[in-house]
Every structure is written in C-alpha cells, then in structure tokens.
Amino acid sequence: MLSIEQVGRRFAPGKAGATEALRDVSLRIVRGDFVALLGPSGCGKSTLLRLIAGLDQPDSGRLVWDQAPAPGEIGFVFQDSTLLPWASAAENVFLPLRLRGVARATAKNDVWAALARVGLAGFEQALPRELSGGMRMRVSIARALVTRPRVLLMDEPFAALDEFTRHRLQADLLALWLELGCTVVFVTHSIYEAAFLARRVVMMTPRPGQIGQEIRSPLWAERTRVDPAYTALVAEIGAAMDAAMVAADA
C-alpha cells in the first residue's frame, strides 16, 4: 500500500543545533496490516507518522502510495484527545465531516454510528468535561473513523491513560481493526503495547531514527495477556530493544 523509501528528515537549527530526526528510513506497509512503530522517546516515530499523514514532507527520499489517499482516507489520533471543550461528543465527531462541507442532518447517522462503534452510544450529547479520559479518547477515535479512513495513524493514543483503561481500549481497538479491515500504524514506546496490538513490530533506533529489527507477531485475533506466545513476544522484543540500545551506545 505504501512504500517509504530512504526517507530523511532534518529540522532547521534551533538553540540546540540542527536535529536529524530520520535517516534513510525504508519501510513497506501492506494493506490491512497493524504495524507498531516502537522506539524510545525522540527517535523520530511521530515525525515518521506525520510524513505518512502528509502533514510534513521529507528532505530526502520519498513516500510512494499504490493509490494516493483522498481527503479523509487517513485518520489521525493523537496522544491527547484534542476535543473542542465546548462541543458535545457528537459535534466533535461531526467536525471532520463539517470541514468537508457535509450537512449536519446528512452526517447524523454516520456520527452516531461512529460513537456507537467505540462504545459511546448514549453519550452523544455529553461535553468532553463530562467524560472520563478513556471516553474522551474513544470520542477522538470515533472522530478519526467517521470519514471511513483506509489508514488509521495513531500517535501514542493511550499513553496518558491509566493501565485499566489502556488495556480495555487496546482490546477494543483490536476488535475495531478486525471489524473495519483498515491499516493501522501505531506509534508507541511501550513494548507491552506493541506486543499486544501489532502484527508487525518495527523497532526504531535512537536519533537519528532508523529502522532497526522487525518482529512479526504470532498472535492473531483473540489475544490475552496470559497467552504464553504473548509473554514470549514481550521477551523477544525487549531483548531486541536492549540489543539496539547497546549497539547505539557503542
């Protein structure tokens, strides 16, 4: 679906000098896959995600799509739910459709269906401050899904949530991915999260960000955290991550 070819991104010099965020990054993303980009803070994961989203341009290399995504075909979910505080859940989910000129009455069914899909039926009129952190993130996911994206880009969406809520949302996200069949690229610095969610775990090395080892998950569909295959995967990713850090320090 997408071929990322020898992409580099360098940010203009600031007080701390220029930052080479990505160097020679090559990665192919296959339609329908669930890819976790895993690496320590500052290794360029968000930068890569923004390049995929078309929110930023590489300084070298290129991104080649089989079929260029139309507006609305890429959904983006950030770490913060970024909801309009004065607008109801339904109004927040309606926003991307409204920006594309869709009338409120036309959009209503899609908006309510998107909220129901993330478990928020009955909360359409609630304001963000009336919702828990997990529910706000669900609204944010519904807002990304309402345009029926082919690709869902998620930048540490659950990082600010408590462990209980995080586990619940991870399980629900997996169910959604199976139901919708879209491609997910999920940025995280959590080995456990990457192991639980992804079919492909792509590790990134510390700055300048480069693609390191890739580990394919043996898990499919119904996953539990007590599955020995899951714990073995956590151990394998952890060991690979340690080896990458040692290599980077050397």
Residues interacting with ligand ADP, by CB under 6 A? Answer: 11, 19, 21, 39, 41-47, 207
CB of 204 to ligand ADP, least distance (A): 7
Is the CB of 108 or the CB of 190 nearer to ligand ADP? Answer: 190
Please answer whether residues 219 and 229 qualify as being in contact, where contact means their C-beta atoms are separated by less than 8 angstroms.
yes
Q: Which long-range contacts (CB under 8 A, 24 or more apart) does 98-105 make?
A: 100/71, 100/72, 100/147
CA 223 to mean position of chain CA atoms: 19
Residue 122 CB neighbour total at 10 angstroms: 9
Is the CB of 47 or the CB of 140 nearer to ligand ADP? Answer: 47
CB of 214 to ligand ADP, least distance (A): 17
Helix (H, G, I), strand (E, B) or coil at 21: strand
Q: Which residue has the tokens 């478990």?
A: 119
CB of 142 to ligand ADP, least distance (A): 24
CB of 31 to ligand ADP, least distance (A): 24
Is the CB of 44 or the CB of 96 nearer to ligand ADP? Answer: 44
Is the CB of 11 or the CB of 65 nearer to ligand ADP? Answer: 11
Measured CA to CA, the distance from residue 183 to residue 177 in angstroms comes to: 8
CB of 152 to ligand ADP, least distance (A): 17
Please answer whether residues 178 and 219 qualify as being in contact, where contact means their C-beta atoms are separated by less than 8 angstroms.
no
Is the CB of 77 or the CB of 111 nearer to ligand ADP? Answer: 77
